[in-house]
Amino acid sequence: MFKAEIKSETLKGLVNIISTLIDEVKFTIDSEGMSLKAVDPAHVAMIEMEIGAKAFESFVANETEIGVDLDKIKTVLKLASAGDIITMEQDEDRGRLIFKVGNITRRMNLVDTSGMSDPKVPQLTLSANIGVVASELQKGIRAAESISDHIALTADSESFELSCEGDTDSASLKIDSDNLEHLEASSKVCSLFPLDYFSNLVKAVPSETVVNVELDNDYPVKLVFSLADGNGSVRYLLAPRIESD
């Protein structure tokens, strides 16, 4: 059983983040809230999201799982105006999820979750830890876009840098520790990542959100941030590209 009310902006924020990685998703639900773990089809990135009951205007649920097609939820979001409350209710008998926005009712079949296994999220300890607002990451991505398919993240004790190197051109964005939320890096670390994955995720994060970047040498990067006014959290892991020279 699951019935909840949520602000359309909050639901939109969640969906934007998840849909950078996958189209269909399994939410695990209990009385405390919803959670999901997902990996993209190419196994390059992984997301863990937790949304507490307080992120909702109202939330009543027993333990259950629902599989949903995110594109369908996006069509519901298009029917809502800013400030609208969206009601979601599981219709267990018919295997449906029912959305209500004002005087509109939208029913959709749930996606079969039997083939969706929970990915195992590796426990990583990464030596550098940087707190940076998403807008700065977004600016670094825009600078990189015309130059290369990869972006390097580098941190040392004084600054955090996004950079990329093409055949004839290069671009970099360097942020001094003064302009970071925090910076912990005992030695210099650097890893290279696929720009498209990094860009898709970072552009889906609201620009004023502080993102915690955990980084090491030729290791995955972990991006941790909160959403839904602090009532939800995301951990995103992206595999590095190891250059073989």
Given a contact cutoff of 8 angstroms between Cβ atoms, the answer to whether 157 and 186 are in contact is yes
Interface mask (CB under 8 A) for its own copies, residues 10-49, using x and -? ----------------------------------------
Minimum distance from residue 171 beta carbon to its own copies (Å)? 5
List helix spans (H) across 183-240: 195-204
Residue 94 interacting with its own copies (CB under 8 A)? no
Residue 207 interacting with its own copies (CB under 8 A)? no
Q: Which amino acid is at 208?
A: E
Given a contact cutoff of 8 angstroms between Cβ atoms, the answer to whether 217 and 241 are in contact is no
Element spanning 232, H or E: strand 232-238
Q: Which of 1, 57, 92, 104 binds its own copies (CB under 8 A)?
A: 104
Interface mask (CB under 8 A) for its own copies, residues 155-194, using x and -? -------------xxxxxxxx---x---------------
Place of tokens 């649920």: 61
# residues contacting its own copies (CB under 8 A): 27
Given a contact cutoff of 8 angstroms between Cβ atoms, the answer to whether 6 and 43 are in contact is no
Interface segment toward its own copies; rule CB under 8 A; list 57-65, 84-92, 102-110, 182-190: 102-110
Residue 111 corresponds to which tokens in the numbers above? 């996606």
Place of tokens 């993102």: 211
- State the residues that interact with its own copies by CB under 8 A: 72, 75, 78-79, 102-109, 139-140, 142-143, 145-146, 168-175, 179
